[in-house]
Amino acid sequence: MDAHTTVLNRTNAHTLNLARRVTALQKALDASEGRIDHTTAEKARSVLQRAGRRAALSGEKTVIALAGPTGVGKSSLFNALIGKDIADVSVKRPTTSQVRAVTWGKQHPNELLDWLGAGSRHLLEANDPHLTDLILLDLPDYDSVEIKHRETVDRLIEVVDALIWVVDPEKYADAALHEGYLQPLNEYAEVMMVAFNKSDQLSEADMNRCVRDLRQILNDNRLQATRIVVTAAQYGTGVAALLEMIKKTAAAKIAMTLRVLRDIRIAAYSIEIELGKASPVVNRQMVSTLAASVSDVVGVREKAASVEQDWLSKGWAVTGWPFVSRRHRKLKDPLQKVKASKRVKVDLSNETGSASFQGAVGRAKLSDALQSFADNVSADLPAGWKRAIWTAANREVNPLLSQLSDIASQNLVTTPKVSWWSVFRVLKIMGILTVVTGIGWLVSAPILSAFNYEPFPATYWFGLPAPVVLLIAGIVFGVLLGLLGRLLVRPGARRRAKTVTLQLLDQIEAVMQARVADPVVAELTRLSQAQAFCRTAIN
């Protein structure tokens, strides 16, 4: 495999990696829309726009800029690198007042130079094929008294593919350089170099000491990948070595990609910080707890109690002591109000209404339940996502109220079908017949005598007249039958109440799942996707 093929394969691999990360950042930004800080989102958009614009203008060209403070010989080094005196040189004052650009070949890439804002443009003959895809810029001094010069430097630092920082023995350790530029740019260490110029002013020992000092400062600022080249532009020292590094950077054709990759990574990391690391989930227990909270709004306990009382009333009427059980039939139907509620229509436009869940109190209880659910889900999430979760939980509150209305207005009146109640009916008839027989026997004697009939012969059981025995036995049997009936009916009533409670809770839970939990789960899925896209963009 020849060198050209190797470079091409590596370039294609970096390009594919860049495309993947650009897509991931765009998706992370889309998923986080409205949920992260506006400034963070705008910076990410700016990176995406800049990356797209830079690639569209010329993905083949490599833009390398010389930057530095006043008086370090930056323009002299620029002239030495290109082999012509294009940049003005002065020992008295800073003379780099505009962006100078040098390109090699047959024509300027004017559209790219316009985007860079290059004011002075020079086209040189390409006597080296490695220079044909190179654009070399000479930037204004970043410490210039002219504000617009500093603004130009700051703007271009964000868009050029590679940077060569020019320093000298006096300014190589300036805090303005390291704290203001190099340290904040440590993510771009691979696409930066430092040219230690004016090395002729120092002895070899002092020069080595200064370079070691500079290397330590760079390392401390996490710039281990940033290379140092010792130069003396006036005498040409180190110029060839620096130019060779520049050519290799241009020939590799990955400086632009590496630079944009770093931009993407920084933007994605900023979003990731705002997304947080938490990945909450909505489980069945949380939805069940929400449904239980809302059950008070629907009146589940009251409805279950009414169903239980209805069952007891009907059961006691069937199984109770015959002469007392008639009283149960005259009692007011405990589900009468529940039956009537079926005719109530919910008016969502009005805060007042007949149904409890329609009024302000019911709405307040529902709101509290939804707020508690949203708070529980989003406890570990940043503010933007907390708001998003709350909005999702309350998004369908009106349809939610309508469905709760339908649940609350159900007719739960049932006709119990209990097999053993039929046995009690037969026993009840037997008790009634026994009492009636006893009473009839007692009153038969005077009646028959009044009509001159012979009364029934006197009969004694257990030492008592038989009619009295029948009467007492029927009464005792009826009382015992009633007590037994009350005991046996109550567990069934409780089971029926429990069944109704579970049925209503299941219905409420299904509504809560569809109207509250599912929108919240969708929001959490969006968060999880945004986190995954950020990881892809970063790694």
- Give per-residue pLDDT as tens, 32-58: 999 999 999 999 999 999 888 887 887
Q: Find out whether 137 and 118 touch, Cβ atoms under 8 Å.
A: yes
Once rounded to an integer, what is the mean pLDDT over residues 97-118?
Answer: 89
Pairing state of beta strands 464-465 and 192-196? unpaired
Distance from C-alpha of 266 to C-alpha of 256, rounded to nearest angstrom: 16
Distance from C-alpha of 191 to C-alpha of 174, rounded to nearest angstrom: 21
Once rounded to an integer, what is the mean pLDDT over residues 336-356?
Answer: 38
Alpha helical stretches, state H, 96-139: 110-116
DSSP 496: H
**Residue the block writes with tokens 């070949």:** 105
In tens, the pLDDT along 496-525 reads 888 888 888 999 999 999 999 999 999 999
- CB proximity list for 366: less than 8 A, separation 6 or greater: 294, 297, 357, 397, 400, 401, 404
Q: Find out whether 85 and 122 touch, Cβ atoms under 8 Å.
A: no
How confident is the model at residue 415, as a pLDDT?
63
Distance from C-alpha of 185 to C-alpha of 207, rounded to nearest angstrom: 25
Residue 198 φ/ψ region, left for φ over 0, alpha for ψ in the -120 to 50 degree band, beta for the rest: left
Distance from C-alpha of 292 to C-alpha of 355, rounded to nearest angstrom: 19
How confident is the model at residue 424, as a pLDDT?
79
Position 225 pLDDT exceeds 70: yes
- CB proximity list for 411: less than 8 A, separation 6 or greater: 338, 339, 342
**Residue the block writes with tokens 């069945």:** 284
Q: Report residue 481's pLDDT band, with 50, 70 and 90 as the boundaries.
A: confident
In tens, the pLDDT along 412-469 reads 766 677 767 778 778 888 888 888 888 888 888 788 777 777 777 878 888 888 888 8
Distance from C-alpha of 137 to C-alpha of 142, rounded to nearest angstrom: 14
Residue 228 bridge partners (DSSP):
194
How confident is the model at residue 246, as a pLDDT?
93
In tens, the pLDDT along 321-344 reads 765 545 544 444 444 444 444 433
Buried-state track 234-245, b at ≥16 Cβ within 10 A, e below 16? eeebbbeebbeb
Distance from C-alpha of 132 to C-alpha of 251, rounded to nearest angstrom: 9
- CB proximity list for 488: less than 8 A, separation 6 or greater: 319, 420
CA atoms within 13 A on the CB side of 155: 13
Pairing state of beta strands 62-67 and 120-124? unpaired
- CB proximity list for 142: less than 8 A, separation 6 or greater: 67, 68, 69, 149, 150, 153, 154, 176, 180, 181
- CB proximity list for 161: less than 8 A, separation 6 or greater: 62, 63, 64, 191, 255, 256, 258, 259
Once rounded to an integer, what is the mean pLDDT over residues 187-210?
Answer: 94
Buried-state track 79-91, b at ≥16 Cβ within 10 A, e below 16? bbbbeeebbebee
Q: Find out whether 244 and 81 touch, Cβ atoms under 8 Å.
A: no
